[in-house]
């Protein structure tokens, strides 16, 4: 999440865009037609009961940034507290033999089964997204000797681009940059136009972090394979919100974070997927003791473990894995098809309200209008959104801002209500009408 900047601040950094200090009443200000529509959608929502499973935030009107950091579950609060006494204190180091050692692959299999369409033995939980991206991308280019190009797009998240720049410099390779339409994303024609016999790796995001455009994973993967290259998909804005079928699409590699729609909490570890048939071909570059064939042999030379475990490097982040277990259980109970349907309904509602209530104020929808190619957030654009986001945070509405003028409305399907969205967008309108003070009504 990007903290809004550019607002006038008082000592201590508090925004003073609202000199009166009053907070508008979103429930009162929401237009009756919007409120009634939201209430009807909430009443018909088959997943509405899941909202009570999340810890509520006092004073918050609308949390519209679930695509940056998911809310914690009530079960997670209990799990974390119990872990100290029931596992850590009671079992101590014995717990490594009683489950901790297998946690990266066991939890990886769960993520694969519930959200990725991946059979067991291909997904592992470890590291951060940046480190896992480096490991898999570096291993991929090493597995395609004689090829000196990497393909990526200029609209991808900075980490993805920066990691590839470092690998290209390290290996003496060239990056072929796709420049997609910012309002959409990378298409199969874009990819087919740049891959060649020189391409070693193509790295793309399945759901674009700015526009929420959903790339055509099957077609793009085929185009990459036709050129003899490997493809690495970034699933950070997909996992837990948009169903993915990695095995069915014959994907080579994938990486994703777990603190967004998997609700793993700040700093939760990433996951990496390596197709079974590739695992013996790749040698990961960060050779650590936990990825060795026998970690406790303490031998003189590194011998990689068989299978997906070889892509672990250091000690597994056991505590960081605890929260996502609870969310994966909820996702499996609800079903990814139902979660996706709720995501589509929420984003459709955002666009509906934006067209009717925000467009007259100069707001434009910068995400695809076709739900089939839209992820679980909607990006709105307005030249005053940077200062407006700062004011909204003060008012208890939390979207995030992406330069130069984008406000992302991120919608976590199981924890977000339509009424919450309606009230949040109402205050977006109020902030744009009078960015200097809250309305006196």
For the cut 80, the answer to whether the pLDDT of residue 120 exceeds it is yes
Same domain, 386 and 286: no
Same domain, 218 and 135: yes
Q: Is residue 380 part of a domain?
A: yes
Residue showing tokens 């994907």: 251
Return the pLDDT at 435: 54
Query: What is the count of structural domains for the chain?
Result: 2
What's the pTM value of the predicted model, to 2 decimals?
Answer: 0.93
CATH of the domain at 328: 3.40.640.10
Domain enclosing residue 289, as ranges:
99-332
Together in a domain, 180 and 281? yes
Active site (annotated) includes residue 127: no
Which one is catalytic: 54, 134, 259, 418? Answer: 259
What pLDDT, on the 0 to 100 scale, is given for residue 169? 98
pLDDT in tens, 408-422: 999 999 999 999 999
Q: Which of 157, 273, 401, 418 is catalytic?
A: 157
Using one digit for the tens of pLDDT, what is the confidence trace for 67-109? 999 999 999 999 999 999 999 999 999 999 999 999 999 999 9
| Active-site residue, from 144, 357, 408, 423 | 408
- Which of 332, 354, 371 is the last residue before a domain boundary? 332
Active site residue 86: no
In a domain, 216, yes or no: yes
234 is catalytic: yes
Q: What is the DSSP letter of 86?
A: I
- CATH number for the domain including 51? 3.90.1150.10
Q: Which of the residues 45, 127, 160, 234 is marked catalytic? A: 234
pLDDT band at 182 (very low <50, low <70, confident <90, very high): confident
276-302 pLDDT, tens per residue? 999 999 999 999 999 999 998 888 999
> Catalytic annotation on 83?
no
Whether residues 290 and 345 share a domain: the answer is: no
Share of the chain above pLDDT 70, in %: 93
Considering the domain architecture, whether residues 30 and 152 belong to the same structural domain is answered as: no
Give rounded-to-5 percent helix, strand, coil for the chain: 45, 15, 45
- 147 and 236 together in one domain: yes
Active-site residue identified among 37, 198, 260, 402: 260
pLDDT for the residue numbered 15: 34
Asked if the structure places residue 293 within a domain, the reply is: yes
Residues 123 and 268 in one domain: yes
Whole-angstrom distance, CA of residue 414 vs CA of residue 67: 12
Q: How many other CB atoms are there within 10 angstroms of residue 404's CB atom?
A: 9
Judgement on whether residues 269 and 305 belong to the same structural domain of the protein: yes
User: Active-site residue 157, yes or no?
Assistant: yes
- Domain finish residue from 271, 300, 332: 332
């Amino acid at each position: 999440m990007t903290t809004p900047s550019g607002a006038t601040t008082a000592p201590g950094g508090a925004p003073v865009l609202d000199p009166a200090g009053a907070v508008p009443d979103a429930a009162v200000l929401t237009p009756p037609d919007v409120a009634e529509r939201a209430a009807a959608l909430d009443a018909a929502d088959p997943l509405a009961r899941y909202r009570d499973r999340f810890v509520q935030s006092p004073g918050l009107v609308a949390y519209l940034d679930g695509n940056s950091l998911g809310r914690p579950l009530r079960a997670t609060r209990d799990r974390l507290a119990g872990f100290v006494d029931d596992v850590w204190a009671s079992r101590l180091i014995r717990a490594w033999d009683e489950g901790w050692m297998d946690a990266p692959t066991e939890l990886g299999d769960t993520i694969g089964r519930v959200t990725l369409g991946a059979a067991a033995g291909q997904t592992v939980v470890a590291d951060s997204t940046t480190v896992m991206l480096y490991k898999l991308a570096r291993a991929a280019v090493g597995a395609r000797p004689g090829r000196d190009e990497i393909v990526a797009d200029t609209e991808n998240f900075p980490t993805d681009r920066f990691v590839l720049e470092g690998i290209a410099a390290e290996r003496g390779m060239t990056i072929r940059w796709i420049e997609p339409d910012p309002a959409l994303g990378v298409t199969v024609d874009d990819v087919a136009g740049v891959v060649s016999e020189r391409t070693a790796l193509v790295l793309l995001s399945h759901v674009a972090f700015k526009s929420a455009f959903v790339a055509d994973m099957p077609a793009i993967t085929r185009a990459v394979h036709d050129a003899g290259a490997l493809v690495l998909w970034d699933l950070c804005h997909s996992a837990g919100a948009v169903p993915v079928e990695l095995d069915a699409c014959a994907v080579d590699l994938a990486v994703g974070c777990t603190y967004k729609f998997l609700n793993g909490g700040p700093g939760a570890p990433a996951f990496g997927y390596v197709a079974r048939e590739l695992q013996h071909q790749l040698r990961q570059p960060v050779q650590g003791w936990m990825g060795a064939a026998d970690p406790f042999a303490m031998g003189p030379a590194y011998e990689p473990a068989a299978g997906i475990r070889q892509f672990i490097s250091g000690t597994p982040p056991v505590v960081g894995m605890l929260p996502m277990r609870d969310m994966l259980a909820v996702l499996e109970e609800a079903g990814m098809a139902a979660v996706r349907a709720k995501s589509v309904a929420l984003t459709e509602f955002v666009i509906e309200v934006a067209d009717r209530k925000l467009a007259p104020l100069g707001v434009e929808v910068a995400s695809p209008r076709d739900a089939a190619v839209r992820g679980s957030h909607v990006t709105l654009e307005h030249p005053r959104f940077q200062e407006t986001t700062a004011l909204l945070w003060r008012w208890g509405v939390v979207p995030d801002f992406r330069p130069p003028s984008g406000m992302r409305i991120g919608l976590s399907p199981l924890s977000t209500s339509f009424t919450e969205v309606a009230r949040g967008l109402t205050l977006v309108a109020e902030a744009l009408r009078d960015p200097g003070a809250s309305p006196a009504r």
